[in-house]
Amino acid sequence: MEEALITYKGVEIHQQELCVLEEVDLELHAGEFVYLTGKVGSGKTSLLKTFYSELDIVSGQAEVLGYDMCRIRRKQIPQLRRKLGIIFQDFQLLTDRSVYDNLDFVLCATGWKRETERKERIAEVLHQVEMDHKGYKLPNELSGGEQQRIVIARAILNAPRIILADEPTGNLDVDTGRAITALLHQICRQGTLVVMTTHNLSLIREFPGEVYRCEGHRLHRATETYKEEIKP
């Protein structure tokens, strides 16, 4: 069994003083592809936010990459986030900068001093997401799918051990969504833990992984019966 990168025991999560999830037990490992499913408001995104300390944990035991998420100090949060790749549905690219400058900004902010090394790393990640010749473009000159590929490139710049993807295909057409999910699976095969929230069951059918469902304030690991239900 690969190393556990995220371990939760009896965790309770609140959103604006309301309990969204309770008694969360979870152990996720390097090289796993994990889907979080459930209705809007069921707690998928709230759970994801606790992994990078955007949302506090009310009670229980929680560890992410060796950090105690119940006692993490404010000054430790940037250190944790540098070890994570976070992919948002709405891209959050800097619209007044080229693709290259978006990626260079992240590398500069995370301690890459040498310009030659930054150039090499940017070339590597753009090649990995099949966007080799788009570095000079502004985000608004790219399609939605291309922008999401750049967001993935940004997420993998520092070779994170965990990628958190919040509805990364939610604003994309079916074929583009499939291509983005395939790309995340490819990254996962290199040993990265990928956790992806989605309501698109057809993606789960085509690109299998561990499935967890948020329902009734609880996190349920998908049973074989549930997996059979989402098969075509």
List the chain domain ranges.
93-159
Question: What pLDDT is attached to residue 230?
Answer: 58
What confidence tens digit (pLDDT) does each residue in 49-65 have? 999 999 999 899 999 99
Contacts of 118 (CB under 8 A, 6+ apart): 104, 107, 108, 112
Question: DSSP secondary-structure letter at 208?
Answer: -
Q: Calculate the alpha carbon distances from 182 to 26, 174, 187 in Å.
A: 25, 12, 9
CB 60 within 8 A of CB 9: yes
* Max CA distance (Å), the chain: 53
What confidence tens digit (pLDDT) does each residue in 156-210 have? 999 999 999 999 998 889 999 999 999 999 999 999 999 999 988 899 999 989 9
Separation CA 47–CA 13 (nearest Å): 7
Question: What pLDDT is attached to residue 227?
Answer: 55
Question: What pLDDT is attached to residue 110?
Answer: 87
